Amino acid sequence: MEIMENCIFCKIKDKQIPSFEIWSDDKFYAFLDINPISPGHTLLIPKQHVDYLFDIDEKQYSELFMTARKLAPMLKRGTGAKRIGIIVEGFLVPHAHIHLVPLNQGNQLNPANAKPMDKTELAKIAERIKNVL
Ligand SMILES: [Zn+2]
C-alpha cells in the first residue's frame, strides 16, 4: 500500500498519530475531526494515499461512498442528529477525505463553523458512535 511521507492522514491511519477512530476496515478509516463543525463530525479516508478525490479509481471511489452510506446511520444514531451532510474540499490535507457532518438544520454545513473540541469530549463522542454498532 502506498504511503506518503509526511502526510498527516497516512500517519493517522497507520496510528503513528493518535486519532479518535470510529470505524475502519482494510481499505478505509474513519475518525473524528478535531475541529468539528458539529459533534460527531467525521473524516472518512481511503487507507491508500491519493491526493484528489476524483483521482481515486472507480472501484475504490464507489466503495468509499458506500462506506459513507454505511457510516451515516451510525453517526446519526450516535449523535441524535437529523441528517448527515457531506463536504469534500481537500485543500488543507492532500489525502482524499470526505467530511461526514451531523446536521440539525439548514446552513449548518459550513466549514467556517469548525472549531477545536476538547479531547475528553471527542473521546466521549467517539465511544457513543462506536457503541451504536
Ligand atoms: Zn496520505
Mean of per-residue pLDDT scores for the chain: 95
Give residue 59's pLDDT.
Answer: 97
Taking residues 57-68, report their average pLDDT. Answer: 98
Q: What DSSP assignment string belongs to the chain?
A: ----TT-HHHHHHTTSS---EEEE-SSEEEEE-SS-SSTT-EEEEESS--SSGGGS-HHHHHHHHHHHHHHHHHHHHHHT-SEEEEE---SSSSS--EEEEEESSTT---GGG-----HHHHHHHHHHHHTT-
CATH number attached to the domain at 8-130: 3.30.428.10
Instruction: Calculate how far, in angstroms, residue 27's C-alpha sits from the geometric centre of ligand 1.
Output: 13
Catalytic (active site) residue 97: yes
Task: Give the whole-number percent of the chain exceeding pLDDT 70.
Answer: 96
Catalytically annotated residue among 41, 95, 97, 99: 97
* Confidence check: pLDDT of 107 > 80: yes
Give residue 5's pLDDT.
Answer: 75
